[in-house]
Structures are given as C-alpha cells and as structure tokens.
Chain A
Amino acid sequence: MFGQLRSAARYALARDSSLRRHEVWPDDIFLVSFPKSGNTWTRFLLGNLMNPDKPVGFADIESVVPDIAVFPRADFRKLKRPRLIKSHDCFDPRYRRVIYIIRDPRDVAVSLYYYAKKVKNIDDSFSLEAFVTRMLVPGRSYNGTWGEHAGSWLVNATNVAEFTLHHSGAPPHAAGVPVGSDVGSPIKMDAPGARGHGREFLLVRYEDFLQDAHAGLHQIADFLGLEASPERIEQAVQRSSADSMRKLESAQNLQWQTTRETRKDIPFVRQAKSGQWRTALSAHSIAEIESAWGHLMRLTGYELETIT
C-alpha cells in the first residue's frame, strides 16, 4: 500500500523515470545501445564536446546527457532543445534521431559479466560460461538480449531476409529467399525499414570509435550538426579518456546513481579495449554466442571464430 502511494505520488509529480513514459519530441536525439557497449564513454565525449567550459564528470553526466531510465519525467521537460538522451531501449518507433552504438557481443558478454558482479546481480562464484548461456535467453530483461536489441534496431528492407529462418525447418513460403546474399558486407542503414522513412540514424561501431576517437566524434558531431573544431574534439577526447574517466569514477562514484550502491572493488570503467573475449571466453561460450547471433555479427562486420 505504501509502495503504491509512493509510486502514485511520484507519478503525479512526474518524478518517475521516463523510459516508455517519455514524451518524445521530434528533435530529441537518442544515444542508443545495448548495455556495456561504450554508451557512457560516448556520453562523456559528447557532453565534453558540447560543454567546453568545464570537464564533465560522473556527478553531472546525468544532467548533461540524461539517461531515459534514470532522469525524472518532469525534469526532461525543462531541458534545452534538442535534448540528447541516453537509452538502452530496444526499437522504439517514436525515436526519430538515433545514434546507435554497436559492440562485438563477445566483448559485451565479458563486460556485462563484471558489471553483473559489480551491481550484485550474480556473486563471485557465478561462472562466465554460465553467464553467457543465460544472456542468450530472450524474455529475461527489459533491454532484451544483445541479438534482440541489435536486431530490432538494425533490421531494414535490405537485410530483412537475414533475420528470417530459411534453411531446414524454414516455413515453405520463404524457400525462394536467397540465403546470405549480403553476407560480409557492411549493413546498409539508409534503406527504408524499421529504421528508414527519412529518420536520421547513425550506426557507430564501438571498435572503430575506440581505434580513432577523433574521427568517430567528428562523425557524430556532423550528424548532430554540432560545431566541432579539431581543438574542441581533441579537448573532448582528452577529457573523456579512460584514464581521466577512471579518476573521475574513483572521486565521484558515490555521486552517480548508476554506481552509488554497487561494489567498489570492481570498477565501472574497466579496460576500455576491444578483443578481451579472446582470452576471457571459453571456446564453448564463443560458439554459443556465434551460433545465436552470427547473422547479426556478419552484418555488422564482426568476424566469426567458429565456422558454422
């Protein structure tokens, strides 16, 4: 009863978090990704790029690039437009301007494993292998699986055939569909589709971004129509480096809602590298991930280790 009253009060005052209740404005820009795919880093980069006067920290990141799952509905109404909003939601047809960050699901698995420990979802005895098996199961979380998340956002008219079953056990009507016609070629995002219809959609690969943060940030700035001189990009990249984010985390982790009540012996900012999976994941886990999401990995340019 108390809980119900509290939630009604929060609702009445619009102090509840936005999520699906978010009132989308046509010029809202969404920074979308599956969890542990470089979203926080991108938030820092953009936050720093847009606010050159003072470095952004964990203490103020929520107000600079607010999280749709954290920031109260009422406060969203007060933000300057266009609003830049961080979201881990699966496909939402109301989002019109989207920057989608994708990361190799094998690295996501490793990162998510440590994060699950940090937020006390699993204890230390939980194995990485069991964790990988669990993260493949649909219907367990609001954000879906990696494959559901990426699939729901990246499917479009040029690649939809890749998302249907058309070999053994396929529905007979789909038999005429060419199998793997576009395998290996980068995903085309300008086609009419789940994303299309003239919406603005930018696909960013975390690995490319990591390799050349300046170029990546430049690309995003262009997409957003932000003024970005090389100096300002350089400054944003410096202020958002893994080292500086680590320092900020140890100083401000109690001021950031995401880390406040988590284990402090596991850092939020971890390696900030790609390819960790090669040493961390077992052959079994790699095979499991690739057999579930191989079609998406091929479409987004992640080389498969196991030949299926």
Chain B
Amino acid sequence: MMIRLGYLANYSLERDIAGRALCKLPDDLFVVAYPGSGGQWLRRLIANLLDSSSPVTEANVMLRLPDLYHGSRRGFARMNRPRIIFSHECFDAEYRKVIYLVRDPRDVAVALYEQRRQGGSIEDSLSLEQFVPTFFTKKTDEYRGAWAEDFSGSIKADHGFAYRSRLKDEFLGTPASWGENVMSWVGARGRDPNAMLLLRYEDLLSDPQAELGKVAEFLNLAGLNLDASPERVRSALKASQGQPTPQDSGKWSTVLPETAIQAIESVWGPVMTAMGYALQAHEVEECR
C-alpha cells in the first residue's frame, strides 16, 4: 500500500523516471545505442559539440544530454527545446530524428561482460564463454526487469524507494538483445538517412573528425542551429580529451573464446555483414 501511494505521489508530481513513457515533442532529437556500444562516449562528444564553453562532466551531462533512465518526466518537461536525449531503446516511431550508434557485437559482448562484472550484477566466477550464451545471445525475456541498473548504472538512492519501484520494464523500456535493437532500427529507418544517421563505433574511433562532422550536420538539418564547422568539431574533440577514453575496437579477437564468437555469428551473422563487420566463421568454413 505504501509503495502504491509512493508510486502515485511520484506519478502525480511527475517525479517518476521518464523511461519509455517520456512524452515526446516534435523537435526532439535522440542519440540511441545498445548498451556497451560506446553510447556514453558518443554522448560526451555530442554534449561537447553542443556547448563548447566548458567540457561536459558527470555532473552536467544530465543537463546537456540527459538519458531516459535517470531523468524524471518533470525534468524532461522543463528542458529547453529542442531537447537531445540519450536512449537504449529499440525502435520507437515517436523518435523523429535519431543518431544511432552500432558496434561490432563481438566487442559489445566483451564490453558488457566487463561492465557487468565491475557492477557486480554477474557472478565473478562466470566466464566470458558462459556469459555470451547466457546473457548476450539469449532471448530478451532474460533481461526482464533487471536490466536498468545493470546497464545504466545505479539509480540514485536519494530518490527513495517509490522512485525505484517503477523500474519495471513496461515503464522503463528495455534494450532487448543486440540483434533486436539494431534490426528494429535498421528495419524501420535503414533507408531513411533524413530520419536516422547510422554511425559505426569503429568509424567514429578511426576518424572522429569526419564522423562527428556528420553528427553536427545531421543535428543542423534536424533543426538545431549549430556551428558545424570543422573547427567546432575539432574543439569538441579536444574538450573530450582527458575524459574516459573509448575502448579500442577488435578486442574480441584476442579475448573472446571461439565458441562465443560462433554463438554470436550464428545468430546475427547476416546483420553483422550488413553493418560491415567481417565474419570469422566464414574463414573457418573455407579452410575446411
């Protein structure tokens, strides 16, 4: 009963987490990435692009480029427009303009494994080999309810128990599996570059100037009055130095066990090919 009252109070005051229930506005812009795909890095880069006066910090990132899983509905309603919002969700038709970041799922698996070990949401004894089929390539139902804090960091405790009690996936949303997330966006928007800018983590890493330039141009076309000059992009990149650096790509080839590679490629091989990631399994087949 107390919990329900808490629910209600939070809901009435719109102090509950926005999540999937965010009320979208027609000029909103979204930055979307599957967890472990370097989304936080892109988020910092874009936040620095938006405001070059001072580098983005842990403290102000929620003001400049908030995410769905920590901001309240009320907070989102009070933001200056146009809003730029970070999300891990699968395709949502109400996201009018989207920058989608995709990363090689073999590296995503490694990143998520490390992230979740560090966060303590998986047993220390769980090996990477066990992690992939259990948590990564498995059905979405496995993620039910628990993913929010696993993936997005712990929710601030001072918001009280009722604040947390709404963290059910029907309210908060769910990133589902890597394949579902990527495919739902590509299936809906893959042929519409005006509605979705598709970026690859690997390209962003190898040529940040060019890729962030595309971001600036897309944001501009989407109605943001932004200086998209190479200088501005350069200064955003400069401001991002000294902040947590992104992981190199291709780590999977040294740490991911063969069975795990096979597991990922057998489920999502064609998606990986379509996204430009060469499969290892092919080479193996040709050797036989």
Contacts and interface: CB of A to CB of B under 8 A. Distances in A.
Contacts of B192: 138
Contacts of B271: 157, 160, 193
Interface string A16-30: 000011111010000
Interface stretch (A77-85, A90-98, A262-270): A90-98
Given A11-B11, A152-B184, A138 B91 contact: no
A192 B139 contact: no
A160 B270 contact: yes
Given A94-B140, A197-B177, A174 B20 contact: no
Contact of B179 (A5, A157, A177): A157
Nearest to B271: A160
Contact of A11 (B8, B139, B173): B8
Given A91-B184, A141-B94, 16 more contacts: A8-B12, A12-B4, A22-B170, A91-B188, A139-B97, A141-B93, A142-B93, A142-B94, A144-B93, A157-B269, A158-B270, A160-B270, A169-B193, A197-B140, A197-B177, A295-B191
Interface of A: 4-5, 8, 11-12, 20-24, 26, 90-94, 96, 138-139, 141-145, 147-149, 151-158, 160-161, 163-165, 169, 171, 173-174, 176-177, 192-194, 196-199, 295
A23 B170 CA distance: 6
Contacts, number: 163
Contact of B273 (A5, A24, A177): A177
Contact of B186 (A11, A141, A163): A163
B183 interface: yes
A263 B186 CA distance: 38
Nearest to B191: A165
12 contacts: A91-B188, A148-B91, A149-B188, A152-B93, A152-B187, A155-B183, A155-B184, A157-B269, A163-B190, A164-B274, A165-B193, A171-B276
B95 interface: yes
B174 interface: yes
Contact of A171 (B26, B90, B176, B198): B198
A28 B268 CA distance: 26
B21 interface: yes
A173 B138 CA distance: 28
Contacts of A23: 168, 170
A231 B218 CA distance: 59
B258 interface: no
Residue among B20, B171, B191, B269 with most chain A CB within 10 A: B191
A152 B174 CA distance: 16
Interface residues of B, number: 54
A8 B9 CA distance: 9
A251 to B, nearest CB: 35
A30 to B, nearest CB: 14
Interface of B: 4, 7-8, 11-12, 20-21, 26, 90-97, 138-141, 144, 168-171, 173-174, 176-177, 179-180, 183-184, 186-193, 195, 198, 200, 203, 267-271, 273-276
Nearest to A18: B170
A194 B179 CA distance: 6
Residue among A22, A26, A147, A197 with most chain B CB within 10 A: A197
A194 B187 contact: yes
Given A20-B20, A139-B26, A174-B274, A148 B189 contact: yes
Contacts of A8: 8, 11-12
B96 A138 contact: yes
Contacts of B274: 160-161, 163-164, 174, 177
Contacts of B26: 139
B184 to A, nearest CB: 5
Contacts of B267: 157, 192, 196-197
B273 to A, nearest CB: 7
B176 A156 contact: no
Contacts of B144: 94
Nearest to A173: B276
B96 A139 contact: yes
A94 B169 contact: yes
A10 to B, nearest CB: 10
B183 A156 contact: yes
A20 B93 contact: no
Nearest to A147: B188
B20 A90 contact: no
Contacts of B270: 157-158, 160-161
A154 B12 CA distance: 38
A139 B193 contact: no
